[in-house]
Structure 1
Amino acid sequence: MEEDGLAPPDYETTFDACPRYEFYANSAPPGRRKVRPSLDMLRNAEPSVFHVLGSSHDSSTKDGEDKDVEADEEPETEPVRFGWVTGVMIRCMLNIWGVILYLRLPWITAQAGIGLTWLIIIMSSIVTSITGLSISAISTNGKVKAGGTYFLISRSLGPELGGSIGLLFSFANAVAVAMHVVGFSETVKDLLVETDSIMSDPVNDIRIVGVITVTGLMGIALAGMEWEAKAQVVFFFVIMVSFVNYFVGTLIPASPERMAKGYFSYRGDIFLENIGPEWRGETGSFFGMFSIFFPSATGILAGANISGDLKDPAVAIPQGTLMAIFLTTLTYLAIAATIGSCVIRDATGSINDTLGAGNFTGGECAGLGCNYGWNFTECTLAGTCEYGLANDYQTMSMVSAFSPLITAGIFAATLSSALACLVSAPKVFQCLCQDNLYPLIGFFAKGYGKNQEPLRAYALTFILAVAFILIAELNTIAPIISNFFLCSYALINFSCFHATITKSPGWRPSFRYFSKWTALFGAIISVVIMFLLNWWSALIVVGIIFVSLAYVTYKKPEVNWGSSVQAGSYQMALSHAMSLSDVEDHVKNFRPQCLVLSGPPNFRPALVDFVAAFTKTVSLMICGNVAEPHDSSCAENYSEQLRWLNARKIRSFYNFITTGNLRAGATSLMQVSGLGRLKPNTVVLGYKHNWQTDSPQNMENYVGIIHDCFDLSVGVCVLRMRDGLDVSRTVKAQVNMGFEDTEGAIGRERQRRETFKVVGSDTHLETYFQGNQKKKNIDIYWLFDDGGLTLLIPYLLTRRKRWSRCRVRVFLSSQIANAEEHREEIQSLLNKFRLGFNEVVVLPEIMWRPEETRSVPVDKPYPLVLHTFLQKRFHG
């Protein structure tokens, strides 16, 4: 018994279960989960039940495990899991060390200068570091499953923003595949040009090589995460060798061939010349260079994107991500500084362009090469130089000790980054599809194999990547994805900020090195940079976010992830409710806050619909149910009743109370329903049709409820319909039967769960007030001055679209002598009320003594007497 966690130690006398790791389903691994005994079991069961429960649970579990083992002699192996080094740090570093590092960083250094290039790198690192801190906090606040960035944001901010970022981030990673593959293809194209092996033309060669490359990467990805991880380790080793090769090359004295291409080893005047910017071309601006460089810093999420394949995401993501940001930032700064100190901006590449070679005819020699005996004046002034930092994308290869190693590094960096994005995009998209937030994408949710590989999502990613590879222009593709990643960073930082300020008890990240203000700064700076980079692209991204957010908000998917948005809504509601408590009521702000004695709301839909027609978006509505004692079905069906209200688009709360007396239960509901100023001031109940045949006790309860309302200073509204209100014709157990033609003040049987769906109901009654009321009459018999509620409710009804075409008529009682004067007086009063009621009818006959010809049977209820009287008056 103790082994099963169902019994405490011997020195305790309780039957409560001791705390066990296996009781928590989100923490215990499959096969070790157990269920703690419920309160009903602890309160009602005999001690022997616990022995039986424990032994049966244990034996069934063991038997089940034995059967499984026997049935499968070779049980399925566990999925491959990675630690923080191979799973996150190396993956992030490889994704950051992409095509931009080798092919564009020297060119950016030539355009922006060493100083502004460092600023660009540091700005990017600040954004990514703040985002890294935020994602570390989010990833350590509970268990992280598959889905990466989408999972983290959606479970933090909810499905509305989470779904939007899932779409954007999946698309951005698919486009990033194309960016890295195009960078690889450009290098291959340059090699083909050098060897005079062009297949078609330079642009088409990039396309051909790109399509072949992404197909090969697709094969590696489909082989499984284990093979993909091995390939990443190989790529990492190759890149490290290429870095060593580059830095060694900067120390080797320059040969004439390298000088002709602009390399003169470390020189102070070269450093000073290259410290400042020299903008060239259409993209020649600070933010133009930033937009091209920033995608290289977006690899920080590569590790988080495979969160489902990590051994311990809460440890691996913070350690691996932050370490990767630090090391790669140092690498970028070092390469920008070293290459800017060794290579001039313009060179011809011709070994004959020396000052002593007879090609200098006099005049001033332009350019820094003149200081070292080289004349690059002609191409510098004409802008036709082919080498130098500003012209040659392969400058790092020229500087290195052995250029093929740089080429291998380019291949490894571009292919590893492309492979990481090729793996990330399908996994994020698969998680989004599994949540079923958007239509027509469920097809891509299916997984295959022990790792549940998203093969269908892989195919979609492959198609998108090929489509963008066909652009074949790296500088065009890079800015496209910058804003997508920046938007992701903004939402990640905002998620961390929002979760912190809502002060939810569930926000307990084990990673403490973050601040809500740095997270907010990261979110704001990400949005600002989006618009500075490319304002129209930023508008498109924001537009996509709002459209997808509006769609999910409208559809209201049935998911509950405990997001910070829910915590924020609670905090705001509590704050506003508390602030209302300090505000005195004023007649101008009066709203009919209704407690509807409906019983189960689905039993009397017409009553609920009618009240909802004038309270929706205007005031409070609570559906109340008085049930018999020990009726557990009310608690069981609570959620179903709320879903029924939501399905009918009725903005109402639902509350129930169990008691043996209808009147006492109704009075208790009046007193305890609501919160602060948000409490009922009007009670709405159904008309009692069987008042002539029901027992005196039930009649006394019904009338007594009305008197209790007056005692509590609560208004009363009674709704009467010819066919009654109750539509649950086949249900035996009904609640609040004192309002309908059924014996007993309270139903004698429990309401069953299956009665939530009304069987054999009257469809006309069920939808009576849901349709368009067209041009009907709303007749107000303002016979007695009740303070204005009789006038206010029809006015609120006519504000609704389905009631707006109805004509409102006000009927008054008056003496014949002053009937017209009284009508004008009331008409003037109604005009001051600004209700829009323009038809006032005076009924002086109401004041007359009944005559023989006008009398009606006195056994009819008063409303029917009045109705018959009016029919005789107006229709003869």
Structure 2
Amino acid sequence: MNIKGNKFGIFKGVFTPSILTILGVIMYLRLPWIVGQAGLLATLGIIFVAHIISVSTGLSVSSIATDKKVETGGTYFIISRSLGLPIGGTLGIALFVGLSFSVSLYLIGFAESLLTSAGIEATLNNIRIAGALTLLSVTILTFISTSLALKTQFIILAVMLLSLVSVFSGKHEFAPVVPMVETVTGSLPWIALFAIFFPAVTGFEAGVSMSGDLKDPKKSIPKGTIAAILIGLIVYIALTLFFSLTVNREMLMDPTILFKISLYSPIVVAGIWGATLSSALGSILAAPRILQATAIDRITPKIFAKGYGAGNEPRNALMLTFVIAFVGIMIGDLNVIARVVTIFFIITYGFLNLTCAIETLAGSDFRPSFRIPGWISLLGAAACFIVMIELDLVAMIAASVILITLFLFLKRKELSLQTGDTWGGFWLSVVKHGLSKLSAKQGNDKRNWRPNIILFSGGVSARPHLISMGQSLVGKLGIFTNVELFQRRSEKDLFIKSVEAITTTDSHGNTVFTRRLLCKDIYEGMDTISRVYGFTGFEPNTILMGWSKNSNDPEKFIGMVNNLEALDFNLVFLHYISEAGFGNKTNIDLWWNGTSGNLDFGITLIKFMTSDPGWRRIRIRILLINNESSIGDHLHQIIRQVLDNHRMYGSIKIINNNIEKKPTDEIIRFYSQNTDLSILDFAVSGEISPMSNYMNLSQLLSMSGTSLVIRAGSTFERVGLPVNQKFQANVDFDDQKTTLSINDRLTLPDIEILASELSRIAGDYEEMHQIFVQQPLGEMQMNFKKTLTRISELNESIFRSLEQMLKEKKRYYKYNRLQ
């Protein structure tokens, strides 16, 4: 930062270096050739598209500069203070490299003109020698004094203006027969010509990068930058019209055409030399200051942060700029260097516009005196990225890989600013917008349902299994908040005033967002938090906690459960057996009572669990204790339909308990004794009291493995038969039920997908058989044709199922090979 040295104003510090870089080597040595190739309309299109990017970027820079104090580094400082050091550092280094190559771009143009004027052939080696010697001279001048380098630019500006007057006022005999409006056949593609021209409009960066040496950056940068861009646009349009209307195409291809059409050619030569040297001076002044600023922020080596003299001259950074520019001169091809410079500048300008857009739309403290609409910055950013893709896809991919690698490296260094950046405000704006959309679409949107869980864990370290289950249940799409309540009965109020919001880490290194509260009563605390936690559009929908074992106050637990049910929460209780844990996480048994919404809810939870790598390969079994054999087939179809709706695979087990009437807990223990996780139904029956239901479940859980006890809210559909509804067979002989049970006789294969399909075929056949038997004989005779149609439909269903089984078999083996 320049503390004691001379400070520069609008004209000397911003406008002059910017306009001299804009009206530089491209204007003198490439614009006539581009007009000859593309014609009037295409060239104007190139100029306007390039200036859409430069004008929008200039406006974005000006807006940000009037909000923040822009210190050393110019564009880098602006981006890094908005988007953070990792992104700012990445783009700052890209901009430094681009400006360093710009020095070689301008000096190669100077060398071409110098050799041509001296009558020396402009071979590659001659260009390299002349360019290298000129680079050394420019570096020495900059090394001695920035102020001295800037003073020379006034002389160059005067010579350049005289050269333009000479070009416009000259007389010649090269007028075209008709104006060159169209593009010549066989010319370079439009996008290639754009890439060669684009460095001409990047010149304003030379002025912005002088921010640390300006008296008043907030005033100088907007006025100087916008003035330079607009004057440059006017000059380029005027020259394009002049060339296309007054010079024929063949002569525009001649590198010496400006000498031949000007009023006084020596002044044009001086103008070319002055423009190329001034552009090189502008870039060689800007590049080291960007590198110096990145070093001050600990992004690049500290050696480049050191400044010398009263003006804090970045001489160490200047040496690296010299090396990169020297490499560019050794390449020696002006068009190749122009394309490289274009890629780096377009990437930087795209993110500079994006920075301003984010600040405008999301920055809570963004109050510039020069404010522009956010769409202007977004337009500039979109134009940059579209042009970059069209320009050179391979170069864009290579540059993107390099920049992404650099960003990840800087990200790992965990660099941060004490003043913060704009990302916090940006994400808050995104969340606010998302919440407003969610609020507008409130309702029972089953398709987009996601678990939003309040987890009452009692402590991450005390009950890590609850944290693990919570993370598994939400998967990749849900969210949970861990609430730790600590009871202190001596408190007068339910909660003390302070709430501790912390971020903790579980045993697997996953981040857990936790809120710790001290309360008078645990159960009342849970009830109150469940009522008030959350906000419109993002209310919690599920409560997860441990099952209350050996509770000293079961009435309070039952009361809390009833209150949560009245609030329409989905309830999930984990009964964890430490000796068994979660087993191998390969088998889940879901027990359903045949009437509640817990079937739909349980399958939904399992679906989210499968996105957890630990539960990804689970096998699902749906079990139901059926005390009425006549409805078994119908229940089987219901379960199959729910599985199909969720696109989940699982086997179905209907346990016929019509004869033996075994106790429910005995059946559950028998069938699920080897499962890794059992999901039990907590639906309350009207036949027993809530306390009895709780005691029965507690007794069952005490003799079972790790289990989840669930109760679905109204979001999940209650499927099954109404309680006490039974099928009655309607037969004409002896009033006797005649049923055919194929499922009970089948020996199903081990592959669950095939087993499920076979079971479904058997269920379809049983249903058809039952309809056939229950139909009165007389009615059968009258509807013989309908009966045959049903049999035909059954056969078609069987063939479709067989085809589906073959497909599922292939998918099954393919899936297991991938695993």
TM-score > 0.5, shorter chain as reference = yes
Distance 1:116 1:581, change over 3 A: closer
Q: CA deviation at 1:317?
A: 1.0
Identity in percent: 26
Aligned partner of 1:787 in structure 2 is 597
1:182 to 101, 108, 126: 108
Q: CA deviation at 1:825?
A: 5.9
1:806 to 604, 615, 618: 618
Distance 1:657 1:508, change over 3 A: same
**Count of aligned residue pairs for this structure pair:** 664
Distance 1:314 1:77, change over 3 A: closer
The two structures, once aligned, show a CA RMSD in angstroms of 4.7
| C-alpha distance in structure 1 between counterparts of 2:608 and 2:196, whole Å | 58
Aligned partner of 2:736 in structure 1 is none
Alignment of 1:155-166 (within 5 A): 155-156=81-82, 162=88, 165-166=91-92
Alignment of 1:242-391 (within 5 A): 242-244=160-162, 247=165, 265-266=170-171, 270=174, 273=177, 275-276=179-180, 283=187, 288-332=192-236, 389-391=252-254
| C-alpha distance in structure 2 between counterparts of 1:176 and 1:274, whole Å | 37
Aligned partner of 1:642 in structure 2 is 503
Aligned partner of 2:663 in structure 1 is 847
Secondary structure of the residue that 2:503 maps to in structure 1?
helix
Q: CA deviation at 1:186?
A: 1.8
Aligned partner of 1:615 in structure 2 is 474
Alignment of 1:174-213 (within 5 A): 174-191=100-117, 193-194=119-120, 202-213=123-134
Aligned partner of 1:838 in structure 2 is 651
Q: CA deviation at 1:299?
A: 0.6
| C-alpha distance in structure 2 between counterparts of 1:636 and 1:869, whole Å | 33
User: Which runs of 5 or more structure 2 residues have no equivalent in the other structure?
Assistant: 671-694, 708-819
Distance 1:274 1:298, change over 3 A: farther
> What is the letter of the counterpart of residue 639 of structure 2?
L
Q: Does 1:578 align with 2:578?
A: no
Distance 1:280 1:162, change over 3 A: same
| C-alpha distance in structure 2 between counterparts of 1:646 and 1:632, whole Å | 29
Q: Is this contact kept in 1: 2:37–2:184, CA < 8 A?
A: yes
Cα deviations across residues 24-64 of structure 1 (Å, max 9, x unaligned)?
A: xxxxx9xxxxxxxxxxxxxxxxxxxxxxxxxxxxxxxxxxx
Q: Does 1:97 align with 2:23?
A: yes
Distance 1:209 1:649, change over 3 A: farther
Secondary structure of the residue that 1:144 maps to in structure 2?
coil
Aligned partner of 2:699 in structure 1 is 862
Q: Is this contact kept in 1: 2:195–2:342, CA < 8 A?
A: yes
Aligned partner of 2:678 in structure 1 is none
Q: Does 1:150 align with 2:76?
A: yes
Q: Does 1:395 align with 2:258?
A: yes
Cα deviations across residues 357-377 of structure 1 (Å, max 9, x unaligned)?
A: xxxxxxxxxxxxxxxxxxxxx
Alignment of 1:83-94 (within 5 A): 83-94=9-20
Aligned partner of 1:360 in structure 2 is none
> What is the letter of the counterpart of residue 203 of structure 2?
G
Distance 1:793 1:109, change over 3 A: closer
Distance 1:337 1:454, change over 3 A: same
Q: Is this contact kept in 1: 2:576–2:706, CA < 8 A?
A: no
Aligned partner of 2:336 in structure 1 is 476
User: Which runs of 5 or more structure 1 residues have no equivalent in the other structure?
Assistant: 1-28, 30-75, 252-264, 347-387, 725-764, 871-876
| C-alpha distance in structure 1 between counterparts of 2:382 and 2:108, whole Å | 32
> What is the letter of the counterpart of residue 862 of structure 1?
Q
Aligned partner of 1:56 in structure 2 is none
Q: Does 1:449 align with 2:307?
A: yes
Aligned partner of 1:595 in structure 2 is 454
> What is the letter of the counterpart of residue 169 of structure 1?
L
Q: CA deviation at 1:809?
A: 4.1
Aligned partner of 1:778 in structure 2 is 588
Cα deviations across residues 68-95 of structure 1 (Å, max 9, x unaligned)?
A: xxxxxxxx96466433222211221222
Secondary structure of the residue that 1:311 maps to in structure 2?
coil
> What is the letter of the counterpart of residue 282 of structure 2?
A
Q: CA deviation at 1:611?
A: 0.7
Q: CA deviation at 1:479?
A: 3.0
Q: Is this contact kept in 2: 1:161–1:545, CA < 8 A?
A: no
Cα deviations across residues 195-236 of structure 1 (Å, max 9, x unaligned)?
A: xxx8xx82112112323333444444555xxx1232122133
| C-alpha distance in structure 1 between counterparts of 2:706 and 2:242, whole Å | 103
Q: Does 1:238 align with 2:54?
A: no
Cα deviations across residues 437-466 of structure 1 (Å, max 9, x unaligned)?
A: xxxx64378511367766665555444333
| C-alpha distance in structure 1 between counterparts of 2:147 and 2:92, whole Å | 24
Q: CA deviation at 1:592?
A: 3.8
Cα deviations across residues 574-603 of structure 1 (Å, max 9, x unaligned)?
A: 344334334321555554431101245465
1:419 to 254, 264, 281: 281
> What is the letter of the counterpart of residue 587 of structure 2?
N
Distance 1:406 1:800, change over 3 A: same
| C-alpha distance in structure 2 between counterparts of 1:672 and 1:213, whole Å | 73
User: What TM-score does the superposition give when structure 1 sets the normalisation length?
Assistant: 0.64
Secondary structure of the residue that 2:97 maps to in structure 1?
helix
Secondary structure of the residue that 1:276 maps to in structure 2?
coil
Q: CA deviation at 1:569?
A: 4.1
Q: CA deviation at 1:391?
A: 1.5
Secondary structure of the residue that 2:301 maps to in structure 1?
helix
| C-alpha distance in structure 2 between counterparts of 1:560 and 1:643, whole Å | 23
Aligned partner of 2:571 in structure 1 is 716
| C-alpha distance in structure 1 between counterparts of 2:50 and 2:11, whole Å | 23
Distance 1:560 1:607, change over 3 A: farther
Aligned partner of 1:72 in structure 2 is none
Q: Is this contact kept in 1: 2:496–2:517, CA < 8 A?
A: no
Alignment of 1:12-91 (within 5 A): 78=4, 81-91=7-17
Q: CA deviation at 1:637?
A: 5.6
Q: Does 1:606 align with 2:461?
A: no
> What is the letter of the counterpart of residue 213 of structure 1?
T
Distance 1:475 1:581, change over 3 A: closer
Q: Does 1:138 align with 2:64?
A: yes
Secondary structure of the residue that 2:520 maps to in structure 1?
coil
Q: CA deviation at 1:245?
A: 5.5
| C-alpha distance in structure 2 between counterparts of 1:102 and 1:566, whole Å | 47
| C-alpha distance in structure 2 between counterparts of 1:643 and 1:140, whole Å | 40
| C-alpha distance in structure 2 between counterparts of 1:280 and 1:711, whole Å | 78
> What is the letter of the counterpart of residue 703 of structure 2?
L
| C-alpha distance in structure 2 between counterparts of 1:394 and 1:107, whole Å | 9
| C-alpha distance in structure 1 between counterparts of 2:593 and 2:622, whole Å | 10
| C-alpha distance in structure 1 between counterparts of 2:642 and 2:362, whole Å | 45
Distance 1:237 1:565, change over 3 A: same
Q: CA deviation at 1:797?
A: 1.9
Q: Does 1:660 align with 2:469?
A: no
Q: Is this contact kept in 1: 2:307–2:315, CA < 8 A?
A: no
Q: CA deviation at 1:615?
A: 0.6
Q: CA deviation at 1:300?
A: 1.4
Q: Is this contact kept in 1: 2:101–2:324, CA < 8 A?
A: yes
